[in-house]
Amino acid sequence: MELQSNPRIGFAPRLGVSILDVILGGFFAGGFGIFLAFLGLGAGGVLGLAIDEQAELESSLEAMGVGAGIGALMGMLGGVVIGYFIYSIIEAFTGASPGKMMLGYKAANDDGTCGDTTLYLKRWAIKNASSVFSMLALATGLIFLNPLGSIIGFVMFLGCFLAIGDDRQALHDKIAKTAIYHKKDII
């Protein structure tokens, strides 16, 4: 009897994809942050001028500069956070991050059959549990969710090393019943 090779993608290629996604996500989030920083620069400047419109010209220009600086900083920070979220959520709807897409990888059911959006969303939520808990804490005001999310995030990070094993599944894959394959190997 001939043994069939495991078509799943293992740890090393997945680590490479993760590094690629950090780089691509950084460019995307940085560009989005710069875009929002320019919007914040203008909005903050106008707001700063409006707040101090009764003052002398020098004082008004100073308020405008402070408002523009704060607006640019807030735009940049918000843009980077939103940019990384947008970049990340692509995988939740397609089963592949942009890095995985570039290399021809995709998440599928652990039996090698094609997944659907529900499966991809479940896998994304488990994989990004730390961020999900942070968003829930922010939305609900339940601050105990933040440290809980951090603990779960650390466990998920350690669980990535399970992909070194023979079944080539990280902890989030085991929980979601998924694995990463070359697109051509998905049934």
Please report whether residue 79 resides in a domain.
Answer: yes
Please report whether residue 39 resides in a domain.
Answer: yes
- Helix or strand holding residue 105 (H, E): strand 105-109
Q: What is the total count of domains within the chain? A: 1
CA Rg value for the chain: 22
Please report whether residue 5 resides in a domain.
Answer: no
Sign of CA dihedral 146, 148, 151, 156: negative
Quickly count: other Cβ atoms within 10 Å of residue 22's Cβ.
Answer: 12
What's the whole-number mean pLDDT along residues 58-75? 79
Determine which of 4-8, 32-36, 87-91, 144-148 has the lowest per-residue pLDDT on average.
4-8
Its domain, for residue 48, covers 11-185
What is the identity of the amino acid at 34? Answer: I
Tell me what percent of the residues of the chain surpass a pLDDT of 70: 91
Please report whether residue 42 resides in a domain.
Answer: yes
Please report whether residue 30 resides in a domain.
Answer: yes
pTM: 0.84
Please report whether residue 95 resides in a domain.
Answer: yes
- Helix or strand holding residue 180 (H, E): strand 178-182
What is the identity of the amino acid at 71? Answer: G
Please report whether residue 2 resides in a domain.
Answer: no
Q: Which residues pair with 108 in a beta bridge?
A: 179
Position 1 scores a pLDDT of 42
Instruction: Give the separation between CA 39 and CA 30, rounded to whole angstroms.
Output: 14
Please report whether residue 3 resides in a domain.
Answer: no
pLDDT digits (tens, 9 = 90+) for 132-183: 999 999 999 999 999 999 999 999 999 999 999 999 999 999 999 999 999 9
Q: Please give, one letter per residue, the 3-state secondary structure of 57-92.
A: HHHHHHHHHHHHHHHHHHHHHHHHHHHHHHHHHHHH
Position 24 scores a pLDDT of 97
